[in-house]
Amino acid sequence: MRISDKLREKIEEQIATGELPPGCALDEAMLVEAHGVSRTPVREALIQLASDGLIEIRPRRGAVVASIGPARLIEMFEVMAELEAMCGRLAARRMTEDERSNLRAAYKACEVARAAQDTDSYFYCNEQFHAAIYAGSHNKFLCEQAFQLQRRLRPYRRLQLRVRKRMGVSLKEHKSILRFITAADADSAAIALREHVVVQGERFGDLLASLAELAPVATN
């Protein structure tokens, strides 16, 4: 893996965990010093992060972690929900037995993380669960679009797991999704995934409350 790719993943992870909150400035010189690399891979990493929509590069002001308004955020989750529903529908019809086994293993890993009340581990296991569904759709273009938007929403999907009881609810929803996909029930799988991902009602209010906690940090 190239140095710039490793650095991009590291910065992406810091954004996802809230270590680099929305509005945080990304100074090239500081990144060079912090990661012990030259300016070239830093610039390449920032360009890639900007293309993914995770940061914004502003003329004469440098790079900052992107901020999304509530209206835009709900629109993005709506699209993500539809992409996941499409993946689930196709996965229920097309998954091989090995791919179903991978999905079951990802669900079991989520169970372990939930039992340990480890939100970080659950977040990564959750990503593996969804990635298994994307792969099972056997539609490369759909997978590419789903992964691209997933990366863009990664910090916000992670914030959702901080909400009390959300991890347990998520696991129950995973159980239903797993059941429908392994039973080749395409329509039910699509509905379950759409409802699992879309953010509305109380869930949207909870997400906004979590975002508000980051606001003072983002304005420093």
Instruction: Note whether 58 and 74 are same-domain residues.
Output: no
Higher per-residue confidence, 177 vs 13: 177
Q: Assign residue 164 the CATH number of its domain.
A: 1.20.120.530
Instruction: Note whether 197 and 145 are same-domain residues.
Output: yes
Instruction: Note whether 58 and 82 are same-domain residues.
Output: no
Instruction: Note whether 139 and 118 are same-domain residues.
Output: yes
Residue 220 pLDDT level (bands cut at 50, 70, 90): very low
Indicate if the pLDDT at residue 217 is higher than 60: no
Indicate if the pLDDT at residue 6 is higher than 80: yes
Residue 193 lies in a domain: yes
Residue at a domain's end among 19, 34, 67: 67
Instruction: Note whether 58 and 160 are same-domain residues.
Output: no
Q: pLDDT by residue (tens digit) across 80-91?
A: 999 999 999 999
pLDDT given at position 153: 85
Length of the chain: 220
Q: Assign residue 60 the CATH number of its domain.
A: 1.10.10.10
Instruction: Note whether 53 and 84 are same-domain residues.
Output: no
Residue 219 pLDDT level (bands cut at 50, 70, 90): very low
Measured CA to CA, the distance from residue 65 to residue 53 in angstroms comes to 9
Residue 218 lies in a domain: no
Whole-prediction pTM value? 0.77
Residue at a domain's end among 67, 96, 121: 67
b/e map of 100-132 (b: 16 or more CB within 10 Å)? bebbeebbebbeebbeeeebeebbebbbebbbb
Q: pLDDT by residue (tens digit) across 115-151?
A: 999 988 999 999 999 999 999 999 999 999 999 898 8
Indicate if the pLDDT at residue 164 is higher than 80: no
Instruction: Note whether 157 and 209 are same-domain residues.
Output: yes
Instruction: Note whether 100 and 128 are same-domain residues.
Output: yes
Q: Hey, is 138 helix, strand or coil?
A: coil
Residue 207 lies in a domain: yes
Measured CA to CA, the distance from residue 32 to residue 11 in angstroms comes to 12
Is 195 buried (19+), middle (13-18) or exposed (0-12) by CB count in 10 A? middle
Residue 108 lies in a domain: yes
Q: How far is CA 95 from CA 61, 176, 189, in A?
A: 47, 16, 13
Residue at a domain's end among 35, 67, 99: 67
Q: Hey, is 174 helix, strand or coil?
A: helix
Q: pLDDT by residue (tens digit) across 168-202?
A: 999 999 999 999 999 999 999 999 999 999 876 56
Place of tokens 């869930």: 203
Instruction: Give the total number of structural domains in the chain.
Output: 2
Instruction: Note whether 168 and 139 are same-domain residues.
Output: yes
Nearest of 110, 114, 121, 122 to residue 178 by alpha carbon: 110
The whole domain housing 63 covers 3-67
